[in-house]
Structure 1
């Protein structure tokens, strides 16, 4: 139940400069070595491979190499799929190509997902090239099809993609996501796509592979959402990535709360920036997640309630470090619960509309310093010191 923010990449271009005197005279401005003809040939093979995949032409795809990718990808609703060879390495009679893969899921991605891939190619009998393997580049994240054949279930407001999952399993996720989207819109508003993409790998290890991080960091975490912080509106759709091991241990209500929480991150993406503290983004997602569930504060915040009963009321709001996955799970739970109670207090004391306005006001700042302070003064008419004191008392009275 977390939001992994990915800042939008910045493209850097290198301008072609004048021929410098430091360059050996014989090289001159036009003295670059001849381009490797194999690179252009490999690019042409990958172009044909992409066209065959998009055109659902399995025979044409097979003429470019292994059919494994086609079989694994045939259910994925693709709007685009292109490779750009960035480097070529000769290995005996074959080559290894470094490539940028850009693809869009139809109806969801407003811009392509860009991932680094490594492809192995061998020679054909007529001296052409064919693909023998297509895998993530070193240190790059896996894609769902790297883990097996992708199955897809489309709901009214959702697209659920799974590897190693049954259609019935994925339909259950779609039902929960379809309930989450209108629930979030009722609380947050409709100024978002009102659609969500859910990825369901086979296991915790599969989740970690999709996120490019060690599995140990996500043990006990039911799901995370990836996306562009302060979304521009021209970016790939956020992905809700499920940890089926932890998610499967939840009851029906818990599963719904998790998907509603993650869907809230999708909805609030454009207003969640570097200025937004995690106690606010995670607390707000939990606040919407628990709306209408009838859960009492002690039921929704059991770890913090236990601490309060033991006489340990937090001295301040949770810091961003408190939300680290690799720390004490009890401490992590208390951080989420503390953020939820902060947002619940705002809704109770100032009203739900002010909570919404406060969230947007914080995210409107370009950087963290002054963001919360300014929004508290402008929207809530209070100071961080007074707010924290009020929150500590709220925690004590609601959980004591």
Structure 2
């Protein structure tokens, strides 16, 4: 099954990513024993003054904070960012407390980041979050990171660091892990934050892998390159720049980090497209992940047709981006399925046996968003594809995109009203016509002829 996070889930994902604890490759056994369980956290950019006394019930009496400590800690964080951008491991490690476990786990984090095409990286201390415990300080840090040219805007996440004195008024980072804080601010972590990764680039492709060998990772990148060329020619949007970031990870933690994952089982997903927020309700990019079970296909000597089709499906979601926000799943997934099959000959286009059996029995209604990814998901995906096929064969190749435009021009309107205003039939009638076309197409081995196309549908004037 392949799918994309929809509007309701994207809202959850946006909130989660905005609060993600960004560096959890760290060894839990290395956590300082006095990590406080609560803190004062203000939103990024609040510009709040530094409190002169801070404390919590769990950390004992309030302690004074030196007036210049914020500047010292920010200088340490600036040096940390500059070291990563300069690929200067020695300077990066000089800002860490000399503890073997910390140096190891932070070394993994450094090795991951220096492989990425970073154009921006910064760590900014939130002054009002500072909490003194003994001679050390805990503070919330906003991390800004941009992958160029893949991100339209920088991503922003939050983490919590512990700083310890290093003599002569200087400090070092002694921890980037506070398990209690992370539990309260649970969010999706990017793979380079949680495990050792290998990054491979191609023309317009950034691939992130963990256990894939060189042949498998090259195969994934080449499949995405082929998909980009095909999808770019068929999707009428250019904001995505014909480029994509793809993850192929054997570690399940990334997919498990999504709330309300379609179908509920990350191992049942072949692919997943998702948005990465930039804050302030803006989107940095749309990326996608592939199941690690597909890596063997990617490593084959010849291109795998099924892998390429799945990649094209996910790339449609990347290319469409936010244009399908608020659009019913049967249209957004139908578009992705329909486009993904266009590079295949009619003889190669297959539907699941269960979907064809359902069409022959008689499909009466269009699946709703709540049931789209249930046990009949394969049938729903096939039906949505053939609804788009019916639109194309009835009104012409622009008809599915015209319907998408009708929905985007009328946000919040009842989908049933949008469809009836556009086509003068109901949503369920549209489903029945798509099912009938599927049934007749696969009734004989011959390829059906395309009927004469009438005038394409137009969005309602009230939109």
- Tell me whether 1:367 sits opposite 2:412 in the alignment: yes
1:130 to 2:181 alignment = no
Deviation at 1:317, TM superposition (A): 1.0
The equivalent residue for 2:402 is: 357
Q: Structure 1 residue 159: deviation in Å? A: 1.3
Q: CA separation of 1:133/1:337 partners in 2, compared to 1, >3 Å: closer, same or farther? A: farther
Is 1:147–1:201's contact at 8 Å kept on the other side of the alignment?
no
Match among 288, 309, 317 for residue 240 of structure 1: 288
Q: CA RMSD in A?
A: 3.4
Query: 1:212–1:167: structure 2 CA closer, same or farther, 3 Å change rule?
Result: farther
Q: Cα offset for 1:266?
A: 1.1
Corresponding residue of 1:280: 331
Q: Secondary structure at the match of 1:181?
A: helix
Contact 1:4–1:225 under 8 Å retained in 2 = yes
Unaligned runs of 5+ in 1: 17-32
> What's the CA shift string for 1:204-257, capped at 9, x where partnerless?
334324x4677953221011111279x999731211122213665799222111
SS of structure 1 residue aligned to 2:398: helix
Q: What's the offset of the Cα at 1:178?
A: 0.6
Q: CA deviation at 1:78?
A: 0.3
Q: Is the 8 A contact 1:298 1:399 kept in 2?
A: no
Q: Aligned residue for 2:125?
A: 85
Give the 3-state SS of the residue equivalent to 1:189 in structure 2.
coil
| Change beyond 3 A, Cα 1:297–1:315 | farther
Once the two structures are TM-superposed, the CA of residue 175 in structure 1 deviates from its matched residue by 0.5
Helix, strand or coil at the partner of 1:104 = strand
1:50 to 69, 73, 81: 81
Q: Cα distance 1:273–1:206, how it changes in 2: closer, same or farther (>3 A)?
A: closer
- Mark the CA change 1:190 to 1:115 in structure 2 (over 3 Å): closer, same or farther: same
Aligned partner of 1:178 in structure 2 is 225
- DSSP 3-state at the match of 1:292: coil
- Distance in 2, matches of 1:107 and 1:248, equals 29
Deviation at 1:34, TM superposition (A): 7.0
TM-score scaled by length of structure 2 = 0.71
Q: Which residue of 2 aligns with 1:345?
A: 390
Measure the CA separation in 2 of the matches of 1:15 and 1:145: 29
In structure 2, the residue matched to 1:168 is 215
Residues 177, 15 of structure 1: alpha-carbon distance in 2 compared, 3 angstrom cutoff: closer
Contact 1:102 1:113 in 2 (8 A): yes
Higher relative contact order (CA 8 A, sep 6+): 2
Structure 1 position 267, deviation (Å): 1.0
**Distance between the aligned counterparts of 1:117 and 1:12, measured in 2?**
12
Q: Does the alignment pair 1:143 with 2:187?
A: no
